[in-house]
DNA sequence: CGCGTGGTTGACACGGATCAATCGTGGTGG
DNA sequence: CCACCACGATTGATCCGTGTCAACCACGCG
């Protein structure tokens, strides 16, 4: 529940919560509108025109939520497209008494639920903030009007949904055909590439290990054991919440089907 | 490889291949164009206007393939939206020497790959026909023009992609949190509901049990054992490729999270 | 009639979950 | 300031689900 993450391997270094850390190196203006780079990250493809930006900012609604808040609930009617601008949100199945079943975590800026609004059926899963978050909502009626005027917007949304489909297909594939070690290796490689493109292949975990385990569909105990395996094999170096990929090639080979 | 499916429990009844059977009770004109009901099944929402039908038929390309043919290959550039009109297509990972890794099977009429074309990255998985199939292809450039003229078409496509996302989220959820028995129960219920809405809850399997097992991410041996379990519990009655759901309520309870 | 294919069954092995204990850390209250 | 506690991670022991391997059966086809 708490956004603060604590380590415990040998050194037990403390890392700052994502919500408390500066959100990005580029531009994080404290005004009430999403920044241009936010929009660009969400709506891929060619550069957004000033007219598009203006129209988007006109219909966008922003919400700020503390850590642990419910962003939306399963089966709750969806009338807006939702994205997380900063912070991270967990998707999965929330359960009343017990710990939630985290299935995916989305770190902003990225789409949260780009699809449910187009079907009249409500959200497919629960969503809750893992840190303080800024949520962007695009009401469907206004977006429909915008799409009628700006046909290119439709294609941007289609591309966004297509990207979601792609990542889900990949996830399903991994769940069906890869064991825990393979999935962890693949996750480390993906995290290292998307996190930042430096050479030494350093990786800040950025969330509780139990949450990482949940997304890999393994228990925290197994995650701990698999990390030790990789460490013993000399593929990675672990210091609390910092992982250094020592042999990306071998990791890739291990993660391959 | 063969479209003919043979049973073997006690009676070993023979069921006809889907490709050989009449495709539907409604309308399956033998002309070269998709029927109105095909379009309506693919592009959900409100009824398609005659103008929309005309425009779609103008850009649609049809392909007929025998069973076991490659529909598309992973990483192959995708420049069209693909659907299967009749027959069924397997999605997954084809491997040269060995049996393919079937992950999903699509029975027409339904979209096959509605997303890859919008990203410039090629298909995410292999696709091959499990029976003789009729494939519908919508070239992207022509579709773009159509979307500019008919903005409603964009929304139909978005809804289609959203439905894909929903089913993939559901699949990932099941893979993460349900054991083999739960997944089989859920699959039986889903098959019985979508297959036909009659009361007795009869279910024709319609594909090889090993293919069913592959989609449930279990081995054929485990599928056989799970079927026997459910039979012993009195939840289902099995006769070859016909399954009768005796206690849908108990099945639902078993399949629940 | 032999052979190939697909399904079922049993014996066994293994991956990963579960349960329980321990450790290190940070926060809290006396 | 320090004892105490909550929480997360780690480790070990054990159990269970499911994959693997092998044998066998039933059917259709050449």
pLDDT in tens, A241-251: 999 999 999 99
Query: What average pLDDT does the structure give for chain A?
Result: 86
| SS3 state of residue B172 | helix
Strand D neighbours (CB under 7 Å) are A 1-2, 5-9, 208-210, 220-221, 223-225, 227-228, 238; B 4, 6, 8, 11-12, 14, 179-181, 217-219, 221-222
Residue A240 has pLDDT above 70, yes or no: yes
B102: Cβ contacts below 8 Å, ≥ 6 apart: B90, B91, B92, B211, B214, B215
Residue with the larger pLDDT of the pair A139 and B199:
A139
The per-residue pLDDT for range A85-105, each reduced to its tens digit, is 999 999 999 988 788 999 999
- Both tokens of A97, joined, read 């008494």
Q: Among residues A180, A195, A207, A189, which one has the least CA distance to residue A245?
A: A189
What confidence category does residue A14 fall into, taking pLDDT thresholds of 50, 70 and 90?
very low
Find chain B residues with C-beta within 8 A of A168's C-beta: 165, 168-169, 172
Question: How would you list the strands of the sheet with A133-139, edge to edge?
Answer: A61-65, A133-139, A80-86, A110-113
Chain B: which residues have CB within 8 Å of chain A?
A: 92-93, 101, 103, 114-119, 121, 124-125, 144, 147-148, 151, 154-155, 157-159, 161-166, 168-173, 175-177, 217, 257
- Both tokens of A250, joined, read 């071998």
Q: What is the pLDDT of residue A82?
A: 98
Torsion of CA B181, B182, B183, B188, to 10 degrees: 90
The residue ranges of DSSP E strands in B44-120, in sequence order, are 61-65, 70-72, 80-86, 88-93, 101-107, 110-113
Of A147, A165, A217, the CB nearest to B161: A165
CA distance A119 to A172: 22
In a 13 Å sphere around the CA of A133, the CA atoms on its Cβ side amount to 28
The per-residue pLDDT for range A187-230, each reduced to its tens digit, is 999 998 765 555 568 899 999 999 999 999 999 999 999 999 99
Over chain B (257 residues), the average pLDDT of each successive run of 10 is 39 36 37 81 87 92 94 96 96 88 94 96 96 96 92 93 97 97 97 66 92 97 97 94 94 93
- Both tokens of B149, joined, read 């003229």
Strand C positions within 7 A of protein Cβ atoms: 5-11, 15-20, 23-27
A109 cis-preceded (ω within 30 degrees of 0): yes
| SS3 state of residue A247 | coil
Rounded-to-5 percentages of helix, strand, coil across chain B: 40, 25, 40
Q: Say yes or no for a CB contact (<8 Å) between B148 and A147.
A: no
What 8-state DSSP symbol labels residue B201? -
For A95 and D4, how far is CA from C1' in angstroms? Answer: 31
Q: What is the pLDDT of residue A36?
A: 85
What 8-state DSSP symbol labels residue B119? T
Q: What is the pLDDT of residue A187?
A: 97
Contact of B45 with B159, CB cutoff 8 Å:
yes
Phi-psi region of A45 (alpha: psi -120 to 50; beta: other; left: phi over 0): left
Residue A160 has pLDDT above 50, yes or no: yes
The per-residue pLDDT for range A17-60, each reduced to its tens digit, is 333 333 333 333 345 777 888 999 999 878 888 988 999 999 99
Contact of A218 with A182, CB cutoff 8 Å:
no
Q: What is the pLDDT of residue A209?
A: 97
Q: Among residues B129, B66, B118, B62, which one has the least CA distance to residue B94?
A: B129
């Amino acid at each position: 529940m708490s956004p603060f993450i604590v380590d415990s391997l040998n050194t037990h270094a403390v890392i700052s919560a994502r919500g408390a850390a500066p959100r990005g190196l580029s531009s994080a203006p404290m005004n009430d509108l999403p920044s241009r780079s936010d929009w660009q990250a969400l709506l891929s493809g060619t550069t957004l025109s000033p007219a598009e930006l203006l129209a988007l900012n006109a219909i966008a609604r922003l919400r700020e939520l503390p850590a642990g808040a419910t962003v939306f609930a399963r089966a709750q009617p969806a009338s807006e497209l939702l994205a997380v601008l900063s912070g991270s949100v967990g998707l999965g199945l929330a359960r009343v008494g017990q710990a939630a079943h985290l299935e995916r975590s989305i770190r902003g800026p990225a789409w949260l639920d780009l699809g449910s609004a187009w079907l009249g059926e409500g959200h497919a899963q629960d969503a809750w903030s893992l840190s303080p978050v800024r949520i962007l909502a695009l009401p469907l009626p206004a977006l429909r009007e915008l799409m009628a005027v700006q046909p290119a917007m439709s294609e941007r949304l289609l591309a966004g949904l297509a990207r979601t489909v792609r990542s889900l297909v990949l996830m399903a594939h991994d769940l069906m055909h890869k064991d825990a070690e393979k999935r962890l290796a693949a996750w480390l490689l993906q995290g290292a590439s998307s996190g930042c493109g430096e050479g030494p292949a350093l990786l800040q975990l950025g969330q509780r290990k139990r949450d990482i385990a949940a997304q890999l569909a393994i228990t925290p105990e197994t995650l701990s054991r698999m990390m030790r395996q990789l460490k013993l094999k000399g593929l990675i170096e672990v210091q609390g919440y910092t992982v250094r990929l020592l042999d990306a090639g071998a990791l890739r080979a291990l993660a391959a089907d």
